[in-house]
């Protein structure tokens, strides 16, 4: 009953608040305008993530009443900070340095307030790796890294929301018998993300903006620590790595690609996996569904093999990632060989990255 209640509350709140956010965005001119870096060709309300914010926050409050632990209530503080930061970025614009600083501060607060510290991580080759004083550093890097990874997937209508929903329900299922608070928070994220797809799936009526993407990424990072801990201080990386597999893979690929190409790894481009799917001829919807499918493959592995050894999970991750990137490389080379430059017929509408 507690899970159903949290899901209904988060779903309904997001469903009701997102149209309000769209009206507010239009009234105050908070519109995402097209440019050469963006896929969409028409102006789009950019703060739809306000609906996600209220859905998740109110859902967590409800979850807190069902939980015997207090950390879900404390988590509201850093989650609100990172979402407000995203909102300011959406309406005013912030430098990546300022955003990075906000993310670090929010991550530190989350670790302190929710006791999300990681003193040990499972060693893929057996035993444990003691992090000691590096534990908080690892936790901060994980939270900030996942936050930005999810943010970078917000490049096509419905992509970030759908992938976040898949990741959240994966964590909810795998933590169901060990950590009720993490399960309930994950359900709030899942329900809110699914409800948002009503307005964000192609053709979108609004973008979530950083208001939503930063919140989704931060929340997923936090519950992946809380829900995947083998004990109060030991983290298994198998489920988080697979549940949030697509954003991590895409971001890692982007950083390596930009670095090897002599470019700033933190500057955006249009070479993310979803962009490349469009370039080889996928329609907008097909590209998003393809990314969903990859996420579901990761999720099924994580759920089916809940006790999966970290080394085995890493092997699955590398194999699937290698197959995906190889597929993209072969398709690009084939199109270049044939002298064709594919352009998706649906590429006139997309998100902001």
Residue numbers in the known binding site for Mg(2+) are 151, 210
- Of 203, 186, 154, which Cα lies nearest the Cα of 346? 203
Cα–Cα distances (Å) from 325 to 249, 254, 297, 319, in that order, read 10, 11, 15, 10
Residue 95, strand partner residues: none
* Residue 216 to residue 48: CA distance in whole angstroms: 13
Strands (E), the chain: 31-32, 44-45, 120-122, 128-130, 234-235
Q: What is the helix (H) or strand (E) element at residue 290, kind and residue range?
A: helix 284-304
Q: With 0-12 CB in 10 A as exposed, 13-18 as middle and 19+ as buried, what is 267?
A: exposed
* Residue 199 to residue 22: CA distance in whole angstroms: 10
* Residue 28 to residue 6: CA distance in whole angstroms: 32
* Residue 78 to residue 76: CA distance in whole angstroms: 6
Tokens 């992938």 label which residue? 163
Annotated binding site: 151, 210
**Count of helices and strands (H, E) across the chain:** 13, 5
| Residue 350 token pair | 């997309």
* Residue 235 to residue 237: CA distance in whole angstroms: 6
Strands (E), 108-221: 120-122, 128-130
């Amino acid at each position: 009953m507690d899970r159903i209640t949290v899901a209904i509350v988060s779903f309904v709140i997001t469903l009701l608040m997102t149209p309000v956010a769209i009206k507010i965005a239009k009234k105050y001119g908070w519109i995402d305008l097209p440019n050469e870096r963006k896929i969409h060709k028409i102006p789009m309300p950019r703060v739809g993530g306000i609906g996600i914010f209220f859905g998740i926050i109110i859902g967590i409050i409800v979850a807190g009443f069902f939980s015997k632990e207090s950390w879900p209530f404390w988590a509201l503080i850093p989650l609100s900070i990172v979402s407000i930061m995203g909102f300011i970025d959406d309406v005013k614009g912030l430098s990546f340095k300022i955003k990075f600083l906000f993310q670090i501060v929010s991550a530190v607060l989350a670790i302190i307030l929710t006791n999300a510290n990681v003193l040990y991580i499972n060693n893929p080759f057996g035993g444990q790796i003691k992090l000691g004083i590096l534990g908080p550093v690892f936790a901060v890097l994980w939270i900030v890294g996942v936050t930005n990874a999810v943010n970078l997937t917000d490049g096509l209508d419905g992509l970030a929301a759908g992938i976040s929903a898949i990741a959240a329900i994966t964590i909810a299922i795998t933590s169901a018998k060990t950590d009720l608070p993490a399960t309930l928070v994950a359900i709030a994220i899942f329900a809110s993300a699914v409800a948002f797809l009503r307005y964000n799936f192609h053709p979108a009526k609004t973008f979530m903006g950083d208001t939503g993407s930063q919140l989704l990424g931060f929340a997923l990072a936090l519950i992946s620590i809380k829900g995947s801990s083998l004990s109060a201080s030991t983290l298994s990386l198998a489920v988080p790595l697979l549940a949030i597999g697509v954003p991590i893979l895409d971001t890692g690929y982007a950083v390596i690609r930009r670095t090897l190409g002599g470019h700033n790894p933190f500057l955006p481009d249009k070479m993310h996996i979803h962009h490349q799917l469009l370039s080889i001829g996928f329609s907008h919807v097909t590209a998003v569904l393809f990314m969903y499918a990859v996420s579901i493959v990761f999720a099924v592995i994580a759920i089916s093999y809940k006790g999966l050894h970290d080394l085995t999970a890493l092997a699955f991750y590398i194999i699937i990632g290698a197959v995906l990137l190889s597929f993209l490389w072969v398709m690009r080379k084939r199109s270049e060989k044939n002298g064709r430059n594919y352009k998706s017929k649906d590429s006139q509408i997309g998100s902001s990255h």
